[in-house]
Chains A and B, each alone.
Chain A
Amino acid sequence: MTRTTRRPRAARRLFGADPAADVRDELQFHLDAKVDELIERGWLPDEARREAERQFGDRASLQQIGERIGDTMDRRRRVSDYWNDGLQDLRFASRTFVRERGFASVAILVLALAVAANVATFSVVNTLLLRPLPFADANELTWIAPPPAACGLSCATYSSDAYEEFRDESRVYQDVTGYFAFSGADNLRLEDHGESTPATGLMVIANFFQTLGVPPALGRAFTADDARTGARPVAMLSHAYWMRQFAANASIVGQTIVLNGTSATVIGVLPAAFDFGSVFSPGARVDLFTPLDLDNARTWGNIVTLIGRLQPGVTLAQARDDASRVAPDLYFRKSRPETLGRYRDRLVPTPLKTHVSGQWHRPLVVLWCAVGLVLLIACVNLSNLLLVRTAARSRELAMRRALGATRARLVRQSLTESLALSGAGAALGLAGAFGLVRWLAHRGDLDLPLLNGITIDGVSVVWTVLIAILAAALFGVVPGLKMAGGNVQEALKDSGPAAGRGPRHERLRVGLVIAEIALACVLLVGAGLLLRSFVNVLDIDLGFAPDRAATIAVDYRGGSGPEDVQAASRTAALRQIIERVDALPGVELAGVTDYLPLGPNRSWGSPAPKGKVFRPGELPGPLVYVVTPGFLPAMGINVHGRDFTWADTFGGRRVAIINQAAARVYWPGEDAVGKILVANRGDTEIIGVADDVRTEKVEDGSGWQIYYPAMQESPTSAQLVVRSRLPIDSLGSSVLHALRELNPQQPAAELKPLRAIVGHAVSPRRFFMLLVAAMAGLGLLLAALGIHGVIAYSVARQSRDIGVRMALGASAGRVRRDVLLATLRVALIGIVVGIVVSLAAARLIASLLFGTSPWDAPTYIGMAAIFLAVALISGYLPARRASRIDPIVALRSH
């Protein structure tokens, strides 16, 4: 028993264990030893061998047993070796990271930011685009509306007659339902123990909840009987309102509440998962639902939206064919035969999901690309950082290879390090994403659908893990291969900092930085274009002046009786309110309207200029606003002609104001003031022409608008608009106080600045712009880090050369200039590549831009300038360091 030589495990694994050979060798040795012994005892060699083999017996079956046991052992050993090595790598990596705290925390933070952005965006994409709507069998639900048109919501709604006939004649639906499209916020007043609070109610067709597949959480849903004229008034509560107003008291079901002075029985509470606003009207909240009496609403015109639940297996194409078959047979009013066929081509089913979130498809995909780019930049950046580290560690690695570590082992080590980094980054990023998503879900002022449903679910977590692994692979593989691929002898001979020299190494690093700059440049250009569009949108002439104006929902007693009595009492009440508010200190102007711009709206009738003949259908109905004197100036809407006055009474001459767009169609090339329009109530004199006001969206053009005086037409609600000389905040309490004095029932509503309404309308654009800008900022920062890292490293590596040059007389300024020029060269190549890619990719975001070309030269030039400046700054620090190299120290240190 003398020496034993170890066969290294690594080699065993590399070549694969061979238990069969081991067993064969072992048994052969035994046999040989036996033969030797027999010969020693005097046997002849041949005889000895035969005898030994005889004694040995069945060698083949022994061999088999040995192989089986060996295989099992080897398999077990391989697994445990693998884990042991992994643990060892992990321990080694964490030791390294603790030592290199700065590097590790930058790496983890960068990744965490990128992962947080990715997971949060994915959660939004998942909710808005990937997940079905929060209804049972949501893919069966369709939204039935005409193709998008200028007249807004009014064109997307249908009369009671049309709804009933469509429901009865269509053959592809399980059921068709809808809701009243024109209710405003705080349109109801809940009286509770003498206190009145505003509430938002919505009238729905009785089968609404059954058709959507939303069973009530408590009580029952509406039935057809609830919606009959003269039925006992009933209401259902939204879950949030039930929690807030009724302290989640389950016994509220069956009790009566007082709404606008009328008692109604609460018959049910909706489930928490159902949020009408988030699906159908982002940013709005609905507190109560009441059944819509279709008979009563028969004379109201186009009032309901249509939502259908298709029968299982019916395709959208079949539904469209069916709708175009039914549409020509629909009457606007059955009692007026001439209204037949008004809905021809105006009933087009689309998936409800498309109606809700279709318009967000493009922005979200763009956002997704942006965060993906950031992740890519982060990975490239880290890859580069690791590469620099690898170069600095090349001696250590060469030593390990010389000591027997295999290439695969070193790559694994490098991958373990990246995996540890990305794991930590992903964990931190997930936590960040949780915060982001929570914040997003509670952004009620954001005009995005389904926001309340955004959560980080299992899919998002899986997404995070995928991202982490992808990131690890991306930034671990390149340095890993570099690490393993180096020439051992050369690296060992090289002195520390000079290791990793060589054009291949250098070129790879510079290439990565150029890629990083190019990607960040694409992001920056995208953000620049979106920013410019946003500024353009803010610059749009809205047609009214939102600054220093505010609005509040007003409650007043309209009175009852014949129309003229009602009109007189209404006029008196409104006039009293406006005069009282006008007298408040700081108030410049005040007026009342029933609809505000940039919100819901309606139209009724198709007035025509007197004495002119238009083809039927040539004059779509303008949007109708019923306003008091003072409203137009309070809004800051310019009027050519005159505003309404209190002298335009119900009994007096019919008057109206139209906007310029309508005037151009009714009386092209003429002054409309003084002309006569034949409207619903007969001849109406046009007393003024108002500026066009953006009606639904800031970006969309203005349709035709007509203003009637509240003295002659009945407004459906009352929004007081106040223009003030003082800050809006200081005015709120005095306005509410004045309203309460006139009407103790006035609910405690909020005085909302008009700016906030505009802000809400542009909130998605601002939101996307800010997000993409944040991503671009992050990309820019990362690119700057990358540039700095590479230049600083190359300066450190060349310190000897620089020292020599300085010793030979190169000035500090000269050295600095050279380093900066090298930086500029890298940056310029990156920027050029980035701009070329941007030019190609800009078309993708063209539809998101407003008043900005995707190839907008100032944006491109500006972004390139910003980038150059950042590159110069990040190159300046290493340049300064280079110029301070002391030739003697640099030369002596090698």
Chain B
Amino acid sequence: MTRLDLIRGTLDVLILKALAWGPLHGYAITSFIRAQSDEALLVEEGTLYPALWRLESKKLVAAEWGLSENNRKAKFYRLTPAGRRHLQQESRTWEAYATAVAKVLGATQPVPRRKPV
């Protein structure tokens, strides 16, 4: 697959999804998104961190300082209950949207003419 630019607004959902299994630091979040999208989605630092901080200030994620795998001081983000709810809601919306778009794009015949009753 080619590298894709992120559609505006989807980054938040991806970040929340990345945190769904437990706290992660910023670098691990980029790694997760890259790996899960088979290197298709690359999140740049310049977009990731502002998004993360905004989520923190909206209280969808909470941050704590901790130690990374190789014993470095790192800032870990985790989902707040509100964040989890937000993630579920947004994923449903996204799926519905994607299905709808896919159906339209997969159309094989024109709109059927309306028959008078």
Smallest CB separation, A66 vs chain B (Å):
6
- Beta-carbon contact of A1 and B53 below 8 Å: no
**Other A-B pairs, 18, CB within 8 Å; known A65-B49, A66-B49:** A2-B69, A4-B64, A4-B67, A26-B75, A27-B45, A29-B26, A29-B27, A29-B74, A29-B75, A33-B68, A33-B74, A55-B45, A62-B49, A65-B53, A69-B56, A72-B57, A73-B57, A76-B57
In the bound complex, CA of A57 to CA of B67 (Å): 25
In the bound complex, CA of A1 to CA of B49 (Å): 19
In the bound complex, CA of A32 to CA of B70 (Å): 11
Q: Check A6 for interface membership: any CB of B closer than 8 A.
A: yes
| 8 Å CB contact of A1 from B26, B50, B76 | B76
Q: List 8 A-B contacts (CB under 8 A).
A: A1-B28, A1-B66, A7-B64, A25-B75, A26-B25, A32-B72, A62-B49, A69-B56
| 8 Å CB contact of A69 from B26, B27, B57, B74 | B57
Nearest-CB residue, chain B, relative to A63: B49
Q: Check B9 for interface membership: any CB of A closer than 8 A.
A: no
Smallest CB separation, A74 vs chain B (Å):
10
Q: Check B5 for interface membership: any CB of A closer than 8 A.
A: no
Q: Check A750 for interface membership: any CB of B closer than 8 A.
A: no
Q: Given the interface contacts A2-B67, A70-B53, does A58 sit within 8 Å of B46 by beta carbon?
A: yes
Q: Given the interface contacts A1-B69, A4-B76, does A62 sit within 8 Å of B45 by beta carbon?
A: yes
Using Cβ atoms and an 8 Å threshold, which residues of chain A touch B95? none
> What per-residue 1/0 map shows which CB atoms of A53-84 lie under 8 Å from chain B?
00111100110011001101100100000000
Q: Check A333 for interface membership: any CB of B closer than 8 A.
A: no
- Beta-carbon contact of A1 and B27 below 8 Å: no
Q: Given the interface contacts A22-B75, A26-B49, does A1 sit within 8 Å of B44 by beta carbon?
A: no
Q: Check A342 for interface membership: any CB of B closer than 8 A.
A: no
Smallest CB separation, A190 vs chain B (Å):
78
Size of interface on A: residues with Cβ below 8 Å to B: 30
Q: Check A298 for interface membership: any CB of B closer than 8 A.
A: no
| 8 Å CB contact of B26 from A5, A30, A57 | A30
Smallest CB separation, A146 vs chain B (Å):
78
Task: Give the interface size bracket for B toward A.
Answer: 20 to 34
Using Cβ atoms and an 8 Å threshold, which residues of chain A touch B75? 22, 25-26, 29
Q: Given the interface contacts A1-B22, A1-B24, does A29 sit within 8 Å of B68 by beta carbon?
A: yes
Nearest-CB residue, chain A, relative to B58: A73
In the bound complex, CA of A768 to CA of B64 (Å): 67
| 8 Å CB contact of B56 from A34, A57, A73 | A73
Using Cβ atoms and an 8 Å threshold, which residues of chain B touch A72? 57
Using Cβ atoms and an 8 Å threshold, which residues of chain B touch A4? 23, 64-67, 76
In the bound complex, CA of A29 to CA of B72 (Å): 7
Residues facing A in B21-70 (CB within 8 A) are: 22-28, 44-46, 49-50, 53-54, 56-57, 64-70
Main secondary structure of the interface of A (DSSP, over half): helix
In the bound complex, CA of A695 to CA of B11 (Å): 97
Using Cβ atoms and an 8 Å threshold, which residues of chain B touch A65? 49-50, 53
> What per-residue 1/0 map shows which CB atoms of A1-30 lie under 8 Å from chain B?
111111100000000000000100111011
In the bound complex, CA of A7 to CA of B74 (Å): 13
Nearest-CB residue, chain A, relative to B64: A4
Residues facing B in A622-636 (CB within 8 A) are: none
Q: Check B73 for interface membership: any CB of A closer than 8 A.
A: yes
Q: Check A886 for interface membership: any CB of B closer than 8 A.
A: no
- Beta-carbon contact of A30 and B53 below 8 Å: no
Residues facing B in A422-479 (CB within 8 A) are: none
Nearest-CB residue, chain B, relative to A59: B45
In the bound complex, CA of A72 to CA of B54 (Å): 11
- Beta-carbon contact of A69 and B66 below 8 Å: no
- Beta-carbon contact of A3 and B66 below 8 Å: yes
Using Cβ atoms and an 8 Å threshold, which residues of chain B touch A29? 25-27, 68, 72-75
Smallest CB separation, A708 vs chain B (Å):
96
Smallest CB separation, A518 vs chain B (Å):
56
Q: Check A36 for interface membership: any CB of B closer than 8 A.
A: yes
- Beta-carbon contact of B70 and A36 below 8 Å: yes
- Beta-carbon contact of A5 and B53 below 8 Å: no
In the bound complex, CA of A26 to CA of B26 (Å): 8
Q: Given the interface contacts A33-B27, A69-B57, A73-B57, does A6 sit within 8 Å of B46 by beta carbon?
A: no
Using Cβ atoms and an 8 Å threshold, which residues of chain B touch A6? 64
Smallest CB separation, B41 vs chain A (Å):
15
Q: Given the interface contacts A26-B49, A26-B75, A32-B72, does A1 sit within 8 Å of B23 by beta carbon?
A: yes
Smallest CB separation, B55 vs chain A (Å):
10
In the bound complex, CA of A26 to CA of B28 (Å): 12
In the bound complex, CA of A70 to CA of B50 (Å): 11
In the bound complex, CA of A25 to CA of B65 (Å): 10
- Beta-carbon contact of B53 and A66 below 8 Å: yes
| 8 Å CB contact of A30 from B45, B50, B56 | B45
- Beta-carbon contact of B44 and A57 below 8 Å: yes
In the bound complex, CA of A530 to CA of B73 (Å): 76
Using Cβ atoms and an 8 Å threshold, which residues of chain A touch B72? 29, 32-33
In the bound complex, CA of A29 to CA of B28 (Å): 11
In the bound complex, CA of A6 to CA of B64 (Å): 7
Using Cβ atoms and an 8 Å threshold, which residues of chain B touch A33? 25, 27, 68, 72, 74
- Beta-carbon contact of A62 and B66 below 8 Å: no
Using Cβ atoms and an 8 Å threshold, which residues of chain A touch B64? 4, 6-7
Using Cβ atoms and an 8 Å threshold, which residues of chain A touch B56? 69, 73
In the bound complex, CA of A30 to CA of B25 (Å): 9
- Beta-carbon contact of B69 and A34 below 8 Å: no
Using Cβ atoms and an 8 Å threshold, which residues of chain B touch A25? 73, 75
Nearest-CB residue, chain A, relative to B27: A33
| Most-contacted residue by chain B among A30, A65, A69 (CB, 10 A) | A30
> What per-residue 1/0 map shows which CB atoms of A34-55 lie under 8 Å from chain B?
1010000000000000000001
Using Cβ atoms and an 8 Å threshold, which residues of chain A touch B46? 57-58, 61-62
Using Cβ atoms and an 8 Å threshold, which residues of chain B touch A55? 45
Smallest CB separation, A506 vs chain B (Å):
46
Smallest CB separation, B33 vs chain A (Å):
14
Smallest CB separation, A7 vs chain B (Å):
6
Closest 6 CB pairs of A and B: A4-B66, A33-B27, A69-B53, A26-B75, A29-B74, A73-B57
Using Cβ atoms and an 8 Å threshold, which residues of chain B touch A5? 65-67
Smallest CB separation, B77 vs chain A (Å):
10
